[in-house]
Amino acid sequence: MEKQELIKLFPERIRKVMGGQDVPYEEIREIRFRAEKPVAMNVGGQERLLMDGNRLFLADRALLKEMLEYMSGFSVYAFEEEMRQGYLTLKGGHRVGIAGKPVVKDGEVVNFHYISGFHFRISHEVKGAGDEVLPYLYENRKLCNTLILSPPGFGKTTLLRDLIRRISDGNENGAGLNVGVVDERSEIGGAYLGIPQNDLGMRTDLLDDCPKAQGMYMLLRSMGPQVIAVDELGGTEDTEAVLKISRCGVRMVMTAHSADLSELLQKKDMECLFESHIFERLIFIKAPMGERSLFEVYDGSFGKIR
């Protein structure tokens, strides 16, 4: 992300400080603001503290409040639903986690009394992230039901996002398809007020901030998708939905947490999917996405293809 774009995420009071750091701005992945504490940035995997000249910059409570108002476009009420989940999605698809004292009503978080911290996750859309695995997703120019797997932080969502775009637009392995995406946590599309900020392709319909299982049924009923894509499959409700959808002839590209095949086969809620041989391709990301990507690809019978 370019420096000027990053600075635009912040109110006037902090812009000068944010803009005066001696760091490669395009490598900033995360920024953590905590009340009365130094601001920490993750720059290319290294922690760097925000400096105001020679002194550490501390985030005071008034700044956190000002930031919330500014980030929401002075419309905190419009983000109440997201705030209940503990985050905001900003223009550009960046996600801001919120810490503080939640207001709980009838056992559910409805808002925040006090804000004590923000965790900015800078959206990194990596076009081309899926180039290497894309040919393995097709057989005789037909898209295979695919499950992408890795431990957290290895780039499943980044890979899924790029594959959605390529499948939707069409590529050398197959024609473009209508893709329906259920984006429960606004991480795939990075939608800001319902509009995807990341490129998900020309034939993609997005259900943003919607429970996965419910969203899959909704898409099936209303949008006639040829492919359904969801992130972080898990729980019996999700797997039951996948089973039902698979019977409707819709192709699926999904992700789940799992480091390897043995860990995957121990997941009880996924058992029914493998017994029914729903997935024809399993793609394991073996190292965090970066300079060097490392994939393992299996077919539906767990035979290693690559």
* Residues at the site binding another protein, with contacts judged by CB under 8 A: 8-13, 15, 66, 69-70, 72-78, 80, 91, 111, 193
305 Cβ neighbours under 8 A, 6+ residues apart:
136, 281, 297, 298, 299
Residue in this structure with the two tokens 């290693």, named with its chain if needed: 304
**Nearest residue (CB) to another protein, 39 versus 285:** 39
Q: Which is nearer to another protein, 13 or 127 (CB)?
A: 13
Q: Output the smallest distance, CB 201 to another protein, in A.
A: 26
Closest distance between another protein and the C-beta of residue 110, in Å?
A: 8
Q: Which one, 6 or 35, has the nearer CB to another protein?
A: 6
- Compute how many other C-beta atoms are within 10 angstroms of the C-beta atom of residue 159: 24
Task: State in angstroms the smallest separation of the CB of 52 from another protein.
Answer: 17
CB of 156 to another protein, least distance (A): 31
Provide, rounded to whole angstroms, the least separation between the CB of residue 261 and another protein: 45
d(C-alpha 188, C-alpha 105), whole Å? 30
In the chain, helix, strand, coil percent, each to 5?
Answer: 30, 30, 40
17 Cβ contact partners less than 8 Å away, ≥ 6 residues apart = 50, 51, 52, 57
Nearest CB to another protein, comparing residues 192 and 298? 192
> By C-beta, is 110 or 265 nearer to another protein?
110
Using the minimum distance from each CB to another protein, give the nearer residue, 55 or 113.
113
End-to-end CA distance of the chain: 33
**Angstrom distances, CA of residue 227 to CA of 141, 157, 175, 287:** 14, 17, 12, 27
Q: Which is nearer to another protein, 18 or 137 (CB)?
A: 18
Give the nearest distance from C-beta 2 to another protein in angstroms: 14
Among residues 156, 95, 143, which one has the least CA distance to residue 121?
Answer: 95
Q: Which single residue is written with the structure tokens 């923000």?
A: 118
**81 is written with which tokens?**
């639903």
Minimum CB separation from another protein for residue 219, in Å? Answer: 23
CB 158 within 8 A of CB 130: no
